[in-house]
Amino acid sequence: MINRKNLSLGAAAFLLVSGAGISAAPAAFAGTPGGTYANDRNSDFDGDGYADVLTGAPGGTVGGKKGAGYVTVQYCSASGIGTTNTRPRVRTAVFSQSTAGVAGTAEPGDAFGAAVATGDVNGDGYDDAIIGSPGEDLAGVVDAGRASVLYGSASGLRGTGSVSLQAVRPKRESGYGGAVAAAHFTAATPGDGIAVSDDDGVDLYSDEGPMVRVTRLETVDDPGDRSVVPFNLTTGNFDGDAYADLVVSGFSLVDDEGVRGRSVVFEGGRHALSYARDLTGGPAAAAGDINGDGYDELVTGEEGSAESGGLVSIRYGGEEGLTDLADELTQDSPGIPGTAEEGDGWGTDLSVADTNRDGRADIAIGAPGEDIGTVRDAGAVWVIRGQQRGWTSDGVRSFNQNTANVPGSAEADDAFGAQVRLVDTDRDGRAELLAAAPGENTGDGVAIAFPAATTGIAANGSWLYGGGSLGASGTDARFGAAIDE
């Protein structure tokens, strides 16, 4: 049951939110929309030119509080991603609500890090982090939820000066901060706008010195078609203009559809994001330029599509926005290894970026419910290539923890592939694959980093890390439940 409410906030209803001002004038913002193009970097917290990796561990114990949650940062370099124990070492950091300057207090079940996103929201050239804690209680309102903005700097992400975002009227179990995103949606500020979802819509913010709540996008809009319970926020540039578009993906409330995946597309523009259309597909979504024509494609994943064990759909971008017709893929499609079986969850998570430097983005697909042999819900990931005509069945790869050269072994309920992220951590033009198994070791969670060879993602050289490898408590952390590229 979804609680309806009318929370439309006009532009006149600007609302100041607690937080710090801008300390430096906007200077280095590149104005790149969307941040989803294959070679974009929008997670460079320390501004050294290398993408950094932000990972959520919403089950993590902080100061003895189980499930308070934390995030980790790995500052990457020419040698890519690592930990403090790898050679070469990379600098790492851990942030939680116990970090000085971060709003709130680490309490059991806050789930800080359940959602993560990055973008340069104050336009100072250092990317910033948006972190959701949907389990946060606010003034006695259970699971009202909140999101926190942590700013980047020359020394990396900082707790000091962080900003807390919460609903105008916090609502019980609304899960504010369940999904977060940032991109250059409008010309309102030099930096990126911020989107934060709860269970019936999305609040948009822009950092204008003080953080300002600009408007609210309702997605539960009875009796119209635009009826989506938000689950995921995705940004891309589907029509090739100067502004990023926002896709709110989740589950449909349209009467005759049953519980189907559905997404609402809001188009970015000079002054505002505006409703463009809604479409089938979700709750997973990702965007990137798969055919290399300069327009992003939207890829949606519908893991619960009962007849197929998971359905992945691709709609192509163009001058007029996304195509109506979608390419539909399942594990039974030609050239794709595996067999579609109920419960596979193929398409539970998706990521789109170029893995072999051919100028066309490739698609990573996670299926955490995939059985490996007789091992139930061990999980697997696929990488499907982009080409000029769209996706191709040539060169599709699939990996699980029993694949040769992949660390660990496939165990029941590992849920490997629950998160997949393609990110070019060493800036060589080829995105590496990070695939998480948040269920590994009964809920500790691990991520496996797969290198990008000249021919694309490879098992050879893959390695594994968890919260414990990054100076945090690994126990029951569900490390990797959210990863931002």
Contacts of 215 by beta carbon, 8 Å cutoff, 6+ apart: 9, 10, 11, 203, 204, 272, 273
Q: What is the largest CA-CA distance in the chain?
A: 59
- In 3D space, the residue among 446, 7, 468, 469 whose CA is nearest the CA of residue 216 turns out to be 7
Residue 336 found at the interface with Ca ion (CB under 5 A): no
Residue 484 found at the interface with Ca ion (CB under 5 A): no
HSE-up of residue 344 (Cα within 13 Å, Cβ side): 29
In this chain, which stretch among 32-40, 86-94, 271-279, 450-458 interacts with Ca ion, using CB under 5 A? 450-458
Q: Does residue 240 contact residue 317 with C-beta atoms inside 8 Å?
A: yes
What is the distance between the alpha carbons of residues 143 and 19, in angstroms, rounded to a whole number?
22
In this chain, which stretch among 14-22, 124-132, 200-208, 343-351 interacts with Ca ion, using CB under 5 A? 124-132
Q: Which is nearer to Ca ion, 23 or 442 (CB)?
A: 23
Residue 213 backbone dihedrals phi, psi, to 5 degrees? -80, 115
Q: Which is nearer to Ca ion, 52 or 362 (CB)?
A: 52
DSSP secondary structure code for residue 11 in this structure:
G
Residue 207 backbone dihedrals phi, psi, to 5 degrees? -90, 100
Residue 192 found at the interface with Ca ion (CB under 5 A): no
Closest CB 45 distance from Ca ion, rounded Å: 6
Q: Cβ–Cβ contacts within 10 Å for residue 351, how many?
A: 29
User: Where are any strands of DSSP class E within 168-208?
Assistant: 180-183, 193-197, 201-207
Choose which of 158, 385, 397, 430 interacts with Ca ion (CB under 5 A).
430
User: Considering only residues 19-48, where is the footprint of Ca ion by CB under 5 A?
Assistant: 44, 46, 48
Burial 171-210 (b: 16+ CB within 10 A, else e): beebbbbbbbbbbbbbebbbbbbbbbbbbbbbbbbbbbee
Q: Does residue 324 contact residue 402 with C-beta atoms inside 8 Å?
A: no
Q: Cβ–Cβ contacts within 10 Å for residue 160, how many?
A: 12
Chain mean position to CA 60: 19
Q: Which is nearer to Ca ion, 105 or 392 (CB)?
A: 392
Residue 245 found at the interface with Ca ion (CB under 5 A): no
Residue 319 found at the interface with Ca ion (CB under 5 A): no
Closest CB 406 distance from Ca ion, rounded Å: 18
Closest CB 424 distance from Ca ion, rounded Å: 4
Number of residues engaging Ca ion in binding (CB under 5 A): 21
Closest CB 293 distance from Ca ion, rounded Å: 4
Q: Which is nearer to Ca ion, 40 or 137 (CB)?
A: 40
Closest CB 313 distance from Ca ion, rounded Å: 15
Closest CB 375 distance from Ca ion, rounded Å: 31
Q: Cβ–Cβ contacts within 10 Å for residue 412, how many?
A: 13
Residue 354 found at the interface with Ca ion (CB under 5 A): no
Q: Which is nearer to Ca ion, 120 or 198 (CB)?
A: 120
In this chain, which stretch among 99-107, 256-264, 340-348, 416-424 interacts with Ca ion, using CB under 5 A? 416-424
In this chain, which stretch among 56-64, 162-170, 204-212, 418-426 interacts with Ca ion, using CB under 5 A? 418-426
Residue 207 found at the interface with Ca ion (CB under 5 A): no
Residue 297 backbone dihedrals phi, psi, to 5 degrees? -95, 155
Residue 126 found at the interface with Ca ion (CB under 5 A): yes
Closest CB 59 distance from Ca ion, rounded Å: 27
DSSP secondary structure code for residue 426 in this structure:
T
In this chain, which stretch among 109-117, 138-146, 286-294, 464-472 interacts with Ca ion, using CB under 5 A? 286-294
Closest CB 88 distance from Ca ion, rounded Å: 15
Closest CB 252 distance from Ca ion, rounded Å: 26
In this chain, which stretch among 152-160, 298-306, 331-339, 351-359 interacts with Ca ion, using CB under 5 A? 152-160
3-state secondary structure of 395: coil
Residue 411 found at the interface with Ca ion (CB under 5 A): no
- Which chain residues interact with Ca ion by CB under 5 A? 44, 46, 48, 50, 52, 120, 122, 124, 126, 128, 152, 289, 291, 293, 295, 317, 424, 426, 428, 430, 452
